[in-house]
Structure 1
C-alpha cells in the first residue's frame, strides 16, 4: 500500500483489518535491521509516497511535513532561509525519512547540543490500527495536555501505528563551525568534556571516536574562534582541525554508526559517568572474542555506538545484553544469526505491553520487532 495523504493512510488501514490483519510499516529501508527481525506481514505500508512540506513560515521557526519526507530534502528547503533541523543521524545521507527517524529514535553527534527528535518534534499526526487519526502538539513550542504522541512513538519501531505528519522545531544555520580534536582514551575524553561543560563553552557535539575527542563549536566566526582557543587551553594536546580534516573526522563517526557488509552495529546507553567503564568493557569483550570493535561515544550524554567486524557476533551481543540490559539496541545485524534480538526485558516491559494494548489492541503493527518483550499472543489478530 502506497498512501500519499493522511486520508489515504486512514482508509488503507481501516479497510484492511480483516483481509490484512498484520501490517509492516516501511520507508526508504535504512533501518530494516533495527531491533529484532520483523515477523511476516500480510501487507506493507510504504510511506515513501507521503512526502512534501505542508506548512512552513520561516518566522515561526517551525515546519510541518509529511512523515515520508527524507530529512535531506527538508534540510535543503530550510537552507534557503538559513535554517535547519539541528539533527544529524548518519542514515540521513541514505535518504532516511523523518517518520522513520522518529520511529527508530535515531540521532547523531548533534544530540549533545540540541537533543534528539524527542526534543525537536513539537507536533505529530499518527494513524492507529482501526484507522483512527490522532494528533498531539502543534506549531507552537509549548507543552500540551494528554498523550505526548511524539515521545510515545519515538523509538516504537512501527509497533504502535503509522506516523503520518510531523511538526519540527527549527534552529538557525550557524554562521561558523569549528572542530577541535583532543587525543586520548575514553577516560581522558570524559575528563576534558567535564571541563568544557564547566567552562560554559556550549559545544554542539562532544564525540569520542578512534581515540580522540571531537569538540564541535557553532556560532559567530569570532565566538567560535574564541571558544576553540578556550578548548585548546583546557587540553594541551588539542588541535583545531582544518575544514577537510573535520569533514573526514565526522565522516568517521558516521561510518561507525552505519557499519558495512558483514558488520554488526549496536547502540548502548549508559549514565555519562559510566561511559568510560562501558567503553572499556565492550572493547575487552570484543578482544576476548577475537572481534574488531570501534566505538563512537557521545560522551556528555552516555550514548555509545559499537561497530563490530570479523566473525560471528551473537555471543558478544548476548554478553553485552547481560552487562547493559535493555540499553543495548541492534542497528545492523550482518554478523548476527536470524534469531538474535532483544535481551532480558526492562523493568518497564509491563508498561510497554500496556501501551501496545492501548494503541494497537489487535496487534496489527510491527510483529516481532520487540520480540520477545511484546508477546504477540496477547494481541490475537
Structure 2
C-alpha cells in the first residue's frame, strides 16, 4: 500500500485543488464538490481488529459494508449507525461526513467513536493523531475534528474506531400521538432508565426502538405499553438510509438540529422527528426567503438548520457561523490547508 501513499503524495504536491472522494454516495451533501478527483478507494483494507478491545483500524477507502460484515461476525457494530446512501460507501466518507443514524441519541455521534486518524497534510506529510484506546488523548481533539470536516482539512488515510457489542434483544413500539404529545413523552422518558435506542415521529405515529438485555427490554415493554412491532428492522434501516416515504420527492430536505426539549416549530411543510426531538427533518423549498425563515426559527429554538438535499444550494448549505466562530473556523482551515487545496468550498 506504500505505493498508493506515494501516488497520493504526488497528487497533493502537484498543487491543484483536489476533490477527495470515496464511493461518492454523499456527493449531494455540502456545497457542490470542486477540484480534481482523488479516489480513496485504492487505499482499502482492515489493518487491525481486536474484538476483545472493541476497536477496529482500517484504511479510509475500505467499504463500509465490509467493515460492518466483519463486525457482525463477532456480534459487534458501529454504534453510531452511519448511513450508506449507496453501495459504495466507505469508512472515510462516513467519518468525513460526520453523519449518524437512528442510534445516535442513545449511543453517541461519529466523533465520539473515532479514536485515531492518520492523515496527509498539504505538504505531503503523513501525520498521526490519537491512538487505539479511549484514554490516549494525544491529539484527541484533532481526531474528533476530522469527523464532519468533509475532507476540507486534509487527506484522511486510516481510522481507528471504537465498536460496541450488538444488543441481544431488540423490538419496536408504536404509539398514536400528536407532535407536541410525542415530544413531551420522549423528554419524559429521557429522564428514566429505559433502553430506548432510537425514536421516530411522523404523521401522528411515534416509533420507539428498545435495545439491550432481554430483561430490560421486556420490563420496558410492560412499562411503556403501545403496539409491539417485532419485525421492524427494515423500518430503522430504511430510516437510516432515507428510504422512508417522507424522504421521497424532489422538494428540498432540511435538517434541523435542536435541543430535544424545543417545542414544535411552526414551519410550512411536513416534518419527521428523530433522536428524541433533537433532529427534525423538514420538506420545504430552498429559496432565500424560506431559508432565512427556517434558519431563524431554528436559531430562536436554540439550534441550527442545514440544507441537506437540494438542487439549488444558492441559499447556502450550512447555517451561517457567528463572526467569532467563523474566524476560528478560518484559522483552523489556514493551519491545516493554507493553500485551500482539499475539497475547496465544500463547507463554506
TM-superposed CA distance for 1:321, in Å, is 2.6
Deviation at 1:213, TM superposition (A): 2.3
> Which of 252, 262, 268 pairs up with 1:285?
268
Partner of 1:360: 337
- Structure 1 unaligned residues grouped into runs of 5+: 233-237, 287-292, 372-381
State the match for 1:135 in structure 2. 128
- Alpha-carbon distance between aligned partners in 1 of 2:245 and 2:159, rounded to the nearest angstrom: 25
What TM-score do the two structures reach when normalised by structure 1? 0.81
Q: 1:176 to 1:49 in 2, by over 3 A?
A: same
**Superposition map of 1:294-333 within 5 A:** 294-299=271-276, 302-308=278-284, 315-324=289-298, 327-333=304-310
Question: What SS does the corresponding residue of 2:42 show, helix, strand or coil?
Answer: coil
The number of residues matched between the two structures is 343
> 3-state SS of the aligned residue for 2:206?
strand
1:265 aligned to 2:260?
no
Aligned residue for 2:243, secondary structure, equals helix
Q: Determine whether 1:186 maps to 2:179.
A: yes
CA contact (8 A) 2:118 2:126 kept: yes
For residue 299 of structure 1, give the secondary structure of its aligned residue in structure 2: helix
1:206: Cα distance to partner? 2.6
SS at match of 1:122: strand
Q: 2:16 aligns with which of 11, 21, 41?
A: 21
The partner residue of 1:242 within 224, 230, 238 is 230
Cα distance, 1:89 vs. partner? 3.2
- TM-score, length-scaled by structure 2: 0.89
**Cα distance change of structure 1 residues 188 and 200 upon mapping to structure 2, 3 Å threshold:** same
Unaligned runs of 5+ in 2: none
In the alignment, is the contact (CA less than 8 A) between 1:176 and 1:224 conserved in 2?
yes
1:269 is displaced (CA, Å) by 1.1
- Give me the CA root mean square deviation: 2.6
Structural mapping, 1:248-259, within 5 Å: 248=235, 251-252=238-239, 254-256=242-244, 259=247
SS of equivalent residue, structure 2 residue 158: strand
Paired residue for 1:200, among 193, 196, 200?
193
Residue 159 (structure 1) shift: 0.7
1:341 pairs with 2:313: no
Aligned counterpart, 2:7: 12
2:16 match: secondary structure: coil
Deviation at 1:261, TM superposition (A): 5.4
